[in-house]
Amino acid sequence: MNAPTTTANLNLETVRQRLRQLGLYGLLALAETLMLEPWFARVIEIEEAERTCRSLKRRLDDARLGAFKPVADFDWAWPTKCDRSLIEELFSLAFIEESANVVFIGTNGLGKTMLLKNLAYRAVLHGHTARFMRASDMLHDLAAQDSTTTLKRRLHRYTAPTILLVDEVGYLSYDARYADLLFEVVTRRYQSPGHPILLTTNKAFGEWNQVFPNATCVGTLVDRLVHRSEIVALEGESYRLKEAMERTERKAKARKSTPRKPRS
């Protein structure tokens, strides 16, 4: 068991730096005198712990992950194609330092969004910022800005977090204006080291011209998205459909095993 921190263990300059980071300028001004107080070290620890807790809550709120199953519940045996070693490697978060985007490609119900949110949650726990958005919500939000100034401010919402999670690209089709907006987000993050995009799609990149049928930027958009990226392909039938069928079977068996009450 580690011994509690005491003022005897502290260096004055280190204490001043910690107080400055906490914004405790009153204590900072009296730091040299307070070093003699036995409670001083504990007060600093309490303030730092509370600041860490508030910071985590703020980052989780900003990420907007909502409810999701933990990765421990992911059924690795269900997809017919799933590179488990690659996915587990992603949880080291090395892709952030490498500025490598992560793209999950596969049909519905294979756990793409679940894995996406778990990666974001892990990143937030390790001090990073994140924002999760469905592609349609993000693009509608950007398209609704009625001036260059408001659009610039709103783009900051999607370019500032350490990681941006864009879910469900390919489920709807968009006009060229929306393609240009996605291109702007991808390009700004591409030019900002350590700010990768995590994205899910049900369309192979060769089919993205169906998602943005009238856009001229699709080729360049895809090129910047996949440069320095990890592509995670998932194949198989929908796990949600499997669960729904199992639930139906359980309810049918329960009905059969329950004796019917005679009609009066």
Same domain, 116 and 218: yes
Same domain, 131 and 184: yes
Classify residue 218: in a domain, yes or no.
yes
Classify residue 162: in a domain, yes or no.
yes
- If one counts every other C-beta atom within 10 angstroms of the C-beta of residue 1, the result is 3
Same domain, 78 and 111: yes
Closest to 116 (Cα-Cα) out of 196, 174, 173, 184: 196
**Residue carrying structure tokens 């398209």:** 143
Classify residue 129: in a domain, yes or no.
yes
Same domain, 162 and 124: yes
Classify residue 97: in a domain, yes or no.
yes
Phi, psi of 200 (to 5 degrees): -115, 145
Q: What is the mean pLDDT of each run of 10 residues along the chain (264 residues)?
A: 58 88 86 86 85 89 95 92 96 96 94 96 96 97 95 95 96 93 96 95 93 93 94 88 68 73 63
How far is it, in rounded angstroms, from Cα 74 to Cα 87?
Answer: 11
Instruction: Indicate which CATH number applies to the domain containing 187.
Output: 3.40.50.300
Same domain, 216 and 98: yes
> pLDDT at position 1, please?
46
Is residue 211 within 8 Å of residue 173, measured between CB atoms? Answer: yes
The tally of domains found in the chain comes to 2
What average pLDDT does the chain have? 89
Classify residue 21: in a domain, yes or no.
yes
Q: Which domain holds residue 22?
A: 7-57
Q: What is the pTM of this model?
A: 0.78
Nearest 5°: the CA angle 248, 254, 256 is: 105
Same domain, 89 and 187: yes
Same domain, 145 and 105: yes
Helix residue ranges, H only, 126-174: 135-143, 148-159
